[in-house]
């Protein structure tokens, strides 16, 4: 089984307000609420692809109940730690010309007792999981070393761990050398603390990270595909032109594809192709973290992988 970890899930509330502007009152019939947070997007894509997936993390309040009910309806297993605070809302307002305005609540505070309970649950979850995926930000109260801790424990049991986060949560997590990370270009810039423009600079930065023991550094580049460093090897994955309906969640969908490829023991090139195919299939749908398996399969055939030259940046 693949397990996705979402420590700070959310209810994503999406409103369509054509003429949205500050200072007015708008009534809308177009709104929806979905179980959100990057790790839940990953889980939804894995499930839509047809694989078994377990979700875990911290959850609370009415929003927590809503999320668990929605996951259960979608056949996604869930085993969260119940907290006293209310799981956050993320508000997205879509207005004309696909302008998106977002308000993200900070989320509830997690106590050290709840963290301890999660770690106990995590040990049990590790037994049954073949691949672990952790995505997104850390809620208040959770130390920035949390992902480090989770990666170390997974490694002790020989389970590969995919970490998809940013900022200091990513920086600290990297100290435990996760199996795979998937920064986009701006996350890579933030991590390296320098501007990264050209393909050469991307490769150089990814190589630097990889030399600290990260098996796969997958840099997602939107419609330009991805650049991947694995030990001394480099790959470039290119995607065919598609009609983009909604690119939000494509990064999460790519992570889902990589996790499935890893879980199913795909060869390196096929794993990378599946990741990029899932990300692309998501962009073809209106929904965030939505794919059609038929689209993934057709993209998988059309995605091209080529090896690229990687100079050892530390030599």
When asked if residue 103 is in the footprint of a second copy (CB under 8 A), the reply is yes
Q: How many residues bind a second copy (CB under 8 A)?
A: 32
Q: Does 91 bind a second copy (CB under 8 A)?
A: yes
**CA distances from residue 284 to 29, 167, 242, 281, 308 in whole angstroms, order as listed:** 24, 29, 7, 5, 28
Q: Which residues contact 10 (CB under 8 A, 6 or more apart)?
A: 36, 37, 63, 87, 88, 89, 90, 104, 105, 107
Residue closer to a second copy, measured from CB, 97 or 243: 97
Q: Which of 18, 52, 62, 245 binds a second copy (CB under 8 A)?
A: 62
Q: Which stretch binds a second copy (CB under 8 A): 88-96, 122-130, 187-195, 291-299?
A: 88-96
Q: Does 101 bind a second copy (CB under 8 A)?
A: yes
Q: Annotated catalytic, 224? A: no
Choosing from 8, 48, 63, 184, the residue that interacts with a second copy (CB under 8 A) is 63
User: Binding to a second copy by residue 106, rule CB under 8 A?
Assistant: yes
Return the residue of 93, 163, 214, 296 that touches a second copy, per CB under 8 A.
93
3-state secondary structure of 51: coil
Query: Interaction with a second copy in 236-255: which residues (CB under 8 A)?
Result: none
Counting contacts by CB under 8 A, is residue 144 touching a second copy? Answer: no
| Residue from 12, 97, 252, 270 carrying the catalytic annotation | 252
CA distances (Å), 241 to each of 171, 250, 281, 283, in order? 34, 15, 12, 11
Nearer to a second copy, 101 or 145 (CB): 101
Burial of 151 (0-12, 13-18, 19+ CB in 10 A): buried
Is 25 a binding residue for a second copy by CB under 8 A? The answer is yes
Chain length of the chain: 315
Q: Does residue 73 bind a second copy (CB under 8 A)?
A: no
Nearest to 43 by CA among 162, 197, 187: 162
Neighbours of 262 (CB within 10 A): 22
Report the residue number, 60 or 275, with the smaller CB distance to a second copy: 60
Which residues are annotated as catalytic? 252
């Amino acid at each position: 089984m693949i397990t996705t970890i979402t420590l700070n899930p959310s209810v994503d509330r999406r409103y369509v307000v054509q003429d949205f502007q500050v200072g007015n009152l708008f009534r809308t019939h177009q709104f929806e609420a979905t179980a959100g947070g990057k790790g839940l997007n990953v889980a939804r894509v894995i499930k839509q692809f047809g694989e078994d997936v377990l979700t875990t993390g911290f959850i609370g309040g009415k929003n927590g109940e809503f999320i668990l009910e929605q996951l259960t309806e979608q056949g996604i297993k869930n085993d969260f730690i119940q907290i006293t605070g209310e799981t956050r809302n993320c508000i997205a307002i879509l207005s004309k010309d696909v302008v998106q305005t977002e308000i993200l609540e900070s989320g509830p505070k997690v106590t050290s007792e709840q963290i301890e309970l999660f770690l106990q649950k995590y040990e049990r979850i590790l037994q049954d999981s073949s691949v672990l995926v952790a995505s997104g930000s850390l809620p208040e109260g959770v130390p920035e070393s949390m992902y480090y801790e989770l990666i170390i424990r997974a490694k002790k049991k020989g389970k590969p761990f995919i970490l998809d986060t940013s900022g200091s949560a990513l920086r600290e997590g990297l100290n435990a050398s996760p199996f795979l990370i998937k920064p986009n270009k701006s996350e890579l810039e933030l991590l390296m603390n320098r501007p990264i423009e050209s393909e050469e600079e991307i490769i150089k930065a990814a190589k630097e990270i990889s030399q600290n023991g990260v098996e796969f550094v997958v840099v997602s580049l939107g419609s330009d595909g991805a650049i991947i460093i694995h030990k001394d090897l480099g790959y470039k994955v290119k995607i065919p032109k598609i009609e983009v309906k909604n690119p939000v969640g494509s990064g999460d969908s790519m992570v889902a594809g990589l996790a499935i490829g890893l879980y199913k023991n795909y060869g390196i090139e096929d794993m990378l192709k599946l990741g990029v195919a899932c990300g692309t299939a998501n962009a073809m749908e209106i929904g965030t973290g939505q794919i059609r398996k038929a689209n993934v399969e057709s993209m998988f055939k059309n995605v091209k992988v080529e090896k690229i030259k990687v100079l050892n940046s530390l030599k």
